[in-house]
């Protein structure tokens, strides 16, 4: 019986129980007898002793990963043994709850093969089984292996290295010249505690960024994982998280950050009525609109009804650009970066590329209130408004006000009802896609309220006095939350749907009751619960779509509204 206590990307903290035995993961299997799971060295080879079951790890032909001859090697109670390499056709018995891989050691320094192996093993195991890979964990790599989806490790490698006088610590390896095997095992177990802590806090990637610099192979593994493994890790990446630090160059490729940039490129379209693009710097405080600097910018922007023409876009790393209407969305509302006034070449290229694509959507004027304008000034004809490098000075704000007034001279001014409606349409498009945005914001729908509290309201076409709320944007949620009526509209697109069994929904929907789910659903998404072809409820996804179907325990959707 497996319960997932916390998730951070593909990393998990789990509670596993089998009869009288229980185990918390991430866990370390020790070499030599111990109170918990352990590996013994017998004349016939290694034997895993796991919660009352003995599993021979070296049974039969000891093929290598490069031999091309791997696959299923046997089942032992609720454990099954998979020997690398896998070809993707392996079928794991339904009663198997722990997948054991005994020959992973030779992949320790081969980043490409290790990445391929871990993804194939985890995909074969699915979300509902624990994965134990023997011989690859050390204090410096345990965090990234957990981040990639491995649940159980052993101290075989640290013990062997310690006997040869090599001290293994999270920061790397140090030659000592005497037996340090016990020190290495202790360091590995201490690292497990740190991985658990960072996983529970949703910040495992930050620990991985710190540890990956310990060896060239770890750097290579993380780079390859962020590139070739993007789809695999993005699936388990939340859409709503807490504060995180982006302190390394590699953090530019975090899956949540990369997904944001891809969504901007694929879904985002500026509100059609915005004719003046205003480029602004980011702020230390998030969301931006709550910071002192952006409140000062607002005082210069919103001095007249010409502000409905102005499209505020913040330039920043690691996200590239953030339109004002999205500044409450994750990860724009959560990241933290070191501020030095210097931009590396990757950051410059990212910002230039994303800004170039945005400019192609068409603006009549571009106003740059971004102090580091040198990196972008050649992308368009711009009016620069920052005086003496300080965008919040009285002179800079006065010039910004005057420049916007002059830029809007002679332009037709859209009203605030149009401005709110098209801003909300832009947000809906980013969150749900074009078809959902158009379905929700039809000719009978309008938006009320002041940013970032926008309500979406639909009037009855036959009786305008009858109004129905479809959803609301709030900074607390960081995206639009739908009512049942809004969920009805979204259900017409066929997306974000979770199909439940035929029973009365009394509270939250658990995975055991979910029989189908849109594979595009991510943790934190709006999820529309369907029963018998009708909307039964709406809420927030606590699992990704595939996990809802594969798991038989745990909350699938935290229900906000349910039909009567």
Domain residue spans of the chain: 2-224, 250-407, 432-562
Query: What's the confidence (pLDDT) of residue 564?
Result: 81
Q: What is the three-class DSSP state of 490?
A: helix
Q: For residues 430 and 427, give the distance between their C-alpha atoms in angstroms, rounded to a whole number.
A: 5
459-487 pLDDT, tens digit per residue, is: 998 998 899 999 999 999 999 999 999 99
User: What does DSSP say about strands 79-83 and 98-101: parallel, antiparallel, or unpaired?
Assistant: parallel
pTM given for the model: 0.95
- The closest of 52, 49, 51, 55 to 82, measured between CA atoms, is 55
Q: How many CB atoms lie within 10 A of CB 551?
A: 21
Q: For residues 168 and 558, give the distance between their C-alpha atoms in angstroms, rounded to a whole number.
A: 43
Q: For residues 552 and 549, give the distance between their C-alpha atoms in angstroms, rounded to a whole number.
A: 8
Contact 451, 424 (CB under 8 A): no
Query: What's the confidence (pLDDT) of residue 64?
Result: 67
Q: What is the three-class DSSP state of 271?
A: coil
Reported confidence tier of residue 339, pLDDT bands at 50, 70, 90: confident
At the fourth CATH level, the homologous superfamily of domain 2-224 is Queuine tRNA-ribosyltransferase-like (3.20.20.105)
Tokens linked to 329: 């969305």
Tokens linked to 449: 């309220």
Query: What's the confidence (pLDDT) of residue 336?
Result: 93
Tally: H helices and E strands in the chain: 15, 31
Tokens linked to 415: 């009203």
Tokens linked to 294: 């952006």
DSSP 86: P
**Could you report how far apart the first and last alpha carbons of the chain are, in Å?**
33
Rounded to 10°, the helix 181-200/156-163 angle is 150
Plot region of 433 (φ>0 → left; ψ -120 to 50 → alpha; else → beta): left
Least confident stretch, 61-75, 82-96, 101-115, 431-445: 61-75
Q: For residues 370 and 193, give the distance between their C-alpha atoms in angstroms, rounded to a whole number.
A: 43
Query: What's the confidence (pLDDT) of residue 67?
Result: 65
At the fourth CATH level, the homologous superfamily of domain 432-562 is PUA domain (2.30.130.10)
User: For 147-181, b where at least 16 C-beta lie within 10 A, e where not — what string?
Assistant: bbbbbbbbbbbbbebbeeebbbbbeebeeeeeebb
With a cut of 80, say whether residue 60 has pLDDT above it: no
Q: Please indicate whether residue 34 or residue 128 has the higher confidence score (pLDDT).
A: 128
Tokens linked to 37: 């799971």
DSSP alpha helix (H) spans, 249-344: 255-266, 292-301
Query: What's the confidence (pLDDT) of residue 442?
Result: 95
Kindly give, in sequence order, each residue whose CB lies less than 8 Å from that of residue 112, ignoring residues fewer than 6 positions away. 224
Provide mean pLDDT across the span 14-20. Answer: 93
With a cut of 90, say whether residue 532 has pLDDT above it: yes
Length of the chain counted residue by residue: 564
Pick the CATH number of 250-407 from 3.40.50.10630, 3.10.560.10, 3.30.210.10, 3.90.1560.10: 3.40.50.10630
Average pLDDT, the chain: 94
Kindly give, in sequence order, each residue whose CB lies less than 8 Å from that of residue 219, ignoring residues fewer than 6 positions away. 212, 213, 250
């Amino acid at each position: 019986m497996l319960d997932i206590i916390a998730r951070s990307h593909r990393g998990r903290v789990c509670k596993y129980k089998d009869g009288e035995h229980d185990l918390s993961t991430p866990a370390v299997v020790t070499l030599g007898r111990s109170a918990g799971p352990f590996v013994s060295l017998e004349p016939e080879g290694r034997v895993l002793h796991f919660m009352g079951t003995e599993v021979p790890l070296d049974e039969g032909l000891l093929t290598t990963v490069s031999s091309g001859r791997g696959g299923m090697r046997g089942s032992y109670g609720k454990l099954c043994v998979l020997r690398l390499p896998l070809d993707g056709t392996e079928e794991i018995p339904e009663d198997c709850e722990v997948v054991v891989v005994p020959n992973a050691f030779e992949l320790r320094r081969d980043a490409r093969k290790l990445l391929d192996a871990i993804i194939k093993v985890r995909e074969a195991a699915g979300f509902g089984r624990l994965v134990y890979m023997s011989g690859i964990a050390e204090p410096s790599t345990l965090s990234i292996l957990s981040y990639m989806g491995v649940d159980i490790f052993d101290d075989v490698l640290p013990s062997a290295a310690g006997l040869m006088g090599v001290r293994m610590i999270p920061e790397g390896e140090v030659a000592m010249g005497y037996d340090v095997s016990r020190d290495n095992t202790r360091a590995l177990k201490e690292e497990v505690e740190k991985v658990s802590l960072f996983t529970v806090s949703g910040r495992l990637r930050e620990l991985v960024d710190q540890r990956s610099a310990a060896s060239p192979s770890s750097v290579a593994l993380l780079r390859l994982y962020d590139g070739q493994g993007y789809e695999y890790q993005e699936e388990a990446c939340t859409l709503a998280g807490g504060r995180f630090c982006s302190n390394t160059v590699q953090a530019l490729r975090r899956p949540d950050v990369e997904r944001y940039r891809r969504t901007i490129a694929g879904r985002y379209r500026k509100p059609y009525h915005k004719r003046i693009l205003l480029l602004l710097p980011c702020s230390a405080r998030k969301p931006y609109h709550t910071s002192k600097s952006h409140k000062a910018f607002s005082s210069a922007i919103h001095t007249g009804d010409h502000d409905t023409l102005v499209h505020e876009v913040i330039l920043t790393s690691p996200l590239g650009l953030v339109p004002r209407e999205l500044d409450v969305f994750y990860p724009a509302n959560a990241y933290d970066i070191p501020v030095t006034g210097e931009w590396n070449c990757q950051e410059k290229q990212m910002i230039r590329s994303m800004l170039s694509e945005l400019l192609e959507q068409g603006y009549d004027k571009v106003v740059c209130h971004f102090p580091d304008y040198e990196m972008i000034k050649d992308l368009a004809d711009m009016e620069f408004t920052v005086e003496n490098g300080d965008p919040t000075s009285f002179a800079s704000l006065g010039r910004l006000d005057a420049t916007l007034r002059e830029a809007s001279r002679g332009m037709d001014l859209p009203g605030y009802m149009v401005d709110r409606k098209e801003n909300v349409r832009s947000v809906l498009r980013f969150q749900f896609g074009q078809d959902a945005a158009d379905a929700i914001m039809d000719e009978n729908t309008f938006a009320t309220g002041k940013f970032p509290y926008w309500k979406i309201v639909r009037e009855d076409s036959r009786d305008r006095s009858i109004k129905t709320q479809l959803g609301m944007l709030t900074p607390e949620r960081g995206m639009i939350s739908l009512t049942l009526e809004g969920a009805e509209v979204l259900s017409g697109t066929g997306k974000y749907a979770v199909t439940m069994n035929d029973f009365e929904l009394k509270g939250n929907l658990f995975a055991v009751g979910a029989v189908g789910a849109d594979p595009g659903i991510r943790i934190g998404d709006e999820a529309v619960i369907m029963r018998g072809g009708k909307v039964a409820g709406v809420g927030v996804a606590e699992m990704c779509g595939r996990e809802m179907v594969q798991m038989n325990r745990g909350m699938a959707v935290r229900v906000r509204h349910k039909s009567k």
